[in-house]
Amino acid sequence: AVYSLIRNGVHDVEEQAFSNGQWILDAEDRFGLAWERGLNTFLDNTPSVAAVCAVVYASLHFIVTPGTLVWLYVKHHRHYRFTSTVLILTTCLALVGFYTLPTAPPRMFDGEGFVDIMAKTGTWGWWPESGTPASDNISNQFAAMPSLHCAWATFCGIVIVMYTKNHVVRVLGALYPVLTYFVVMGTANHYLLDVVGGLVTLLVGFILAWLLRMAWRAYLARHLDPQIVTQLSAKGAA
């Protein structure tokens, strides 16, 4: 709820958002990194794949992430505290990005040849043009950089691969982030640099969570019996 309020609270920044989006697109074009162009053209020319991607974009992001957290809490509770901290810090960092670097997604640049796949397939599903659960009238359309879709998907993929024992689920977990990268760029909701930004944000979130854990363990070591610290660590509380 807090995330949604902050994410959707960035308004009246349209000029800056389009300027930032154009800068990213120009930079990608300059170095041949605008992969979203080719992927978007492919989806535009392949309606069946476009429909599947629209469903993926509008649903899995809001199902897989909480589902992964619930599974982790129930089945691997020892690791829940640290991994959930990584996700929380990653999301907080992304919110800072939304405020400081509002960015219009590729789908808003009609003159650049992009096709809004979510809008094109909107009559086939339940989603608004942005693919968010909320109406486009109240959702922040300029929260493209960094891509939380990609940050959260990568988080889920890593957690699933690390902790599941089922080989099929492990493969699906590894493929889920890759599918997400394809979908967010193909639907013209994100640039390649948004994807990279999401991965960097996740990495920084992990580093901060690790530093916090080390600081917490150092604090406990100074104030508690070593045996108690060991017991807390075994339970994931330290």
One pLDDT digit (tens) per residue for the chain, 238 residues: 554 555 555 556 889 999 999 999 999 999 999 999 999 999 999 999 999 999 999 899 999 999 999 999 999 988 999 999 999 999 999 999 999 999 999 999 988 999 999 988 876 655 555 555 544 444 678 989 999 999 999 999 999 999 999 999 999 999 999 999 999 999 999 999 999 999 999 999 999 999 998 887 777 777 666 666 565 555 555 5
Does some domain include residue 31? yes
Three-state SS annotation for 25-65: HHHHHHCCCCHHHHHHHHHHCCHHHHHHHHHHHHHHHHHHH
Is the Cβ–Cβ distance between 91 and 148 less than 8 Å? yes
Q: How far is residue 17's CA from residue 20's CA, in Å, rounded to a whole number?
A: 5
Does some domain include residue 9? no
Does some domain include residue 5? no
Q: How far is residue 176's CA from residue 36's CA, in Å, rounded to a whole number?
A: 18
Does some domain include residue 85? yes
State the pLDDT at residue 220.
Answer: 72
Does some domain include residue 6? no
State the pLDDT at residue 65.
Answer: 96
State the pLDDT at residue 135.
Answer: 44
Does some domain include residue 12? no
Q: What is the domain extent for residue 102? A: 17-234
State the pLDDT at residue 126.
Answer: 53
Q: Name the residue type at position 62.
A: F
Q: What is the pTM of this model?
A: 0.85
User: Alpha carbon 127 to chain centroid distance?
Assistant: 18
Overall domain count for the chain: 1
In angstroms, how far is the first alpha carbon of the chain from the final one?
Answer: 28
Radius of gyration of the chain (CA): 20
